[in-house]
Structure 1
């Protein structure tokens, strides 16, 4: 990162904190006017290349679309073969997303989306789609790829009925349907688990089933450890583990802290301290109480280790959006304790070095997902998400460099680092 005037962006931030409080209050006044002024300067002064179809997203979409295509063509034997081959070879996208999981998701996507759309419209979903998948299962009773696809379709439909609210917020009928679909998924998978103990797809499915298990006990960690060991480069199981260790599910804040440390120790060769941060990341996003057991310095070191070990633009955008939006201090509840405010401010502050040292292209879908948040089963079209993500990211980054932009400085991101060019 180079600043043409001779100062680093980080040093500029540090000096800014020394301004007297009255001046800071004056600078913060009339935010809307400031945003309008920034919006007028975005095109001219904020140079950040946009990758509307990044390699990771293209890779995921291609594999998922392949699964969907084979299902639509009733080429279930080809789908089953593709899933088994990908699973056995541990094929994955550049950021370690399993090809077998993507093929399976694509194959069941039409059925699941039909249910989600019907529920979003207030209608009663038809059973035609899931019954058709059950018929396919009858044709391939010994194939674990087909079994996993049908079982996970039941799980996805169960989640569509349940939603992401707290248990006491879910209507009784929705709870029953959630349980019924997960029960059917478990009955489908139970016979194949023992026959294919080394299948990563089944390990992922086993972790999915935990959501409907009232008392998973030690099996929770056993299931997640096995899944993580199959592909330690994939952070998704670590993030899901942290969520399942919250008190609202099957754990406690003490258990979350313990298992985050254990996961970090087991995966140090891959992530350094990063696995600790991965386990906590979603937990902090959905439960403010998770901050009470957090070792903040360990978490911040973990974020640095994640990007040091994986300086990929997909990961850089993910962590930047997490710091900027998910951990935005402005989103902190008004009655939040000081500890939570301190935690969010510190994580939000990592945006400075992420932008300065790692980010050089914008991935809009990641920013759109962060701005929408969790719990939405029906999302806008991809084009709308791209627009939203681009606008959100550029304005968020513009606010971060507000003083520089309003002073006429051009902020330029590239593979060679961040440069600031003062107005002449």
Structure 2
């Protein structure tokens, strides 16, 4: 697999690490916060038909998402353990994945991903579709009795801590399913009450088992996510984030998740995100480079593009490259980063009303970073890593902006395993 653009690392050899750009919010609610507008129009590529453009710019496309295949190896036996109530096997599997900090190609920790995948298998496709649509799922549609076998197992004194973590995750996921994606002022009171009830159960489970989980990254992640879900203070969440980073020091997920929660709409003040990002950069630059700094801002800017007015663009760009270099799969990470940069740098994304001159300028600078990375770090294109709504055609047109001058000059560009190769003008 291609390792980026042969960018030198001033700190020496490649460093292991991972990226997971995720949030404590359910997917439907996170998507609700993104307000899409028409993409920027660049004349040279906009005037060309898709067929004409594809003759100038060819992409090596890889279908599917490598996470799915990797996770399937763990999910299939876990489903069998659930069906046969083989709690020892299931607990040992999760505990082993947790202790190894096992990660999927995207960087997502396997223990957490397995818990969510098992939850979705248990509740069935119909309820999963409701959750994806952002509907509030009631007890009749998602009865808590589905998880009774695991609850009974927790009553035994010798049940492994990992199964307690799993039960807490099931309650967290159920709480978000009950909540739906409506903003608080529009959400039904019953939905909020039902969600909070599940979050409290998750908190009780975690508090009960905390003394047996001093070094578990899986526990620390759930502890953080439950606190963020049920409501807490910025100081408490900062402490929870610190515990999470200490139990999983090579993961960038804690920084990405906490960065978003430090926005004023959640737990932070106007300067909270910048203060935190600069602090983690100073503490982690020897091991993570600027990757933690960029992770803090990348997810936050998707929720609130106004943070573009406060970050350091140069450090951010360096950090994005560090994120790719350290990731489990640089190509997956690169594709995911490019999607985020393109969307956030599109005028109107994430805000209502008119944009300030300063924000338009910041978006332009971010689009420049997108173009730089597209030209220098992108290998195979993975549409599934770009996410819902991103077809191969849409990705082609987005990437074409990075090569607009070359296309206008009649050059042919091929993006593949060796990165972008620009040919001579016809």
The alignment's TM-score, normalised by the length of structure 1, stands at 0.79
Q: Summarize the alignment of residues 9-20 of structure 1 with structure 2, pairs less than 5 Å apart.
A: none
Q: 2:226 aligns with which of 205, 209, 215?
A: 209
Q: 2:61 aligns with which of 31, 37, 50?
A: 50
User: Are 1:327 and 1:347, in contact at CA under 8 Å, matched by a contact in 2?
Assistant: yes
Q: Distance in 2 between matches of 1:234 and 1:54?
A: 20
Q: How far, CA to CA, are the matches of 2:262 and 2:391 in structure 1?
A: 30
The C-alpha deviation readout for 1:280-319, integer Å capped at 9, x for no partner, is 1111111234334333333233224333545811111122
Correspondence for 1:320: 338
Match of 1:412, SS state, is strand
1:393 to 388, 392, 395: 395
Aligned mate of 1:133, from 147, 166, 175 = 147
Instruction: Give the drift of 1:73.
Output: 4.9
Q: Describe the SS at the equivalent of 1:88.
A: helix
| 8 Å CA contact retained: 1:64, 1:102 | no
Quick check: 1:35–1:399 contact (8 Å CA) kept in 2?
no
Distance 1:171 1:294, change over 3 A: farther
Query: What whole-Å deviation, never above 9, does each CA across 1:101-142 have from its counterpart, x for those lacking one?
Result: 222222212245554434647874536653231332212433
Identify unmatched segments of 5+ residues in structure 2. 6-39
**2:282 aligned with 1:268, yes or no?**
no
Is 1:362 equivalent to 2:356 in the alignment? no
Q: Residues 330, 53 of structure 1: CA spacing in aligned structure 2 closer, same or farther, 3 A cutoff? A: same
- Determine the structure 2 residue equivalent to 1:79: 90
* Secondary structure of 2:107's aligned partner: coil
Kindly report the root-mean-square deviation, in angstroms, between the aligned alpha carbons of the 2 structures: 2.9
User: Residue 117 of structure 1 corresponds to which residue in structure 2?
Assistant: 129
Higher helix share: 1
TM-score (norm 2): 0.79
Consecutive unaligned residues of structure 1, counting only runs of 5 or more, are 2-27, 372-387
Q: What is the Cα deviation at residue 159 of structure 1?
A: 1.4
Aligned partner of 2:108 among 97, 122, 129: 97
Residue 144 (structure 1) aligned with residue 144 (structure 2): no
What is the match of residue 201 of structure 2? 184
Which shifted more, 263-272 or 243-252? 263-272
Q: Which has the larger radius of gyration?
A: 1
Which structure is richer in relative contact order (CA contacts within 8 A, separation 6 or more)? 2
CA separation in 2, counterparts of 1:61 and 1:349? 38
Kindly state the Cα deviation for residue 87 of structure 1 after the two structures are TM-superposed. 1.5
Does the CA-based 8 Å contact 2:75-2:114 persist in structure 1? yes
Residue 66 (structure 1) shift: 4.3
* Cα 1:346–1:128 shift into 2, 3 Å: closer
Contact preservation (8 Å) 1:411, 1:419: yes
